[in-house]
Structure 1
Amino acid sequence: MKKTRNNEHSDRRRAAADAKAALVSAFRSAKEASEPTREARQTERRLIAEARDKRRAEREQMKLDERNRIAAEAAARDAAVAAAAKAEIEARELADKTRVERVLQDEAARKAKRDQRYANRKARQA
């Protein structure tokens, strides 16, 4: 019996290995050819990223400034409300104090009139 070789399978394997080697060598040569532009692209991407980070930081700073401004306005508004409430309380206390003083003065005047009447009556009886 004559031994025949199956060339189809070995041919396919050799062709696949050659194609793979060709792809690898093409990739390496393309990588070497694009080396100068790769650095330029990386530099450009780095600059774009830095500009993006700078804009983001500016936006965050603007938001922080706006929050601080709103907080300051709220604090000023609260202080004004507190000052108005304090002024109102002081006005009420002053009104109460003057009313008490008036009542005491009226009572003192009434007692003085009563004492005067008593003294007049005693003077008439004597």
Structure 2
Amino acid sequence: MNPFKDNQLTDRLETAAKAREAMLDRYRSRPPADDPAVIARQAERQAVISAREERSRERETARIASEAAAAAELKAQRELEAAEQARLAAEKIERQAALVAEQKAARDARFAARKARARR
């Protein structure tokens, strides 16, 4: 016969009653709320909670500061890149102006040479 099936209804009821009684005994044996040990434990828990919240605030502050520094660095980098792009654009415009002036001088020289040949 299976030993797990020997458990009769009365056995199960007795086991449940003993378990309820044990829970009640544990509840009754608790110290009252105004006991100094209970108050000390609550104070310790509150101190741990306060310290945890303080560390959390410090981490959040550090995270915000880090994000602000990263944003400032990114902004500075973008400004530097924009200045570099502006410098390159100005150089390109200068080169184009110089090229146009060179081409005009060459064209004028050819024109003057043609005029000089025609006068002879």
Percent of pairs identical after alignment?
17
1:19 to 2, 6, 22: 22
Paired residue for 1:109?
A: 116
Partner of 1:120: none
Structure 1 residue ranges without an equivalent (≥5): 1-5, 114-126
Q: What corresponds to 1:41 in structure 2?
A: 48
Q: In structure 2, what is the equivalent of residue 118 of structure 1? A: none
Calculate the aligned-residue CA RMSD, in Å: 2.9
Aligned pairs for 1:82-97 (under 5 A) are 82-97=89-104
- Give the number of aligned pairs: 107
65, 70, 74: which one aligns with 2:81: 74
Question: What residue number does 1:123 align with?
Answer: none
TM-score under structure 1 length normalisation = 0.68
Q: Which runs of 5+ in 2 are unaligned?
A: 1-8
Decide which structure has the larger Cα Rg and report it: 1
TM-score by length of 2: 0.70
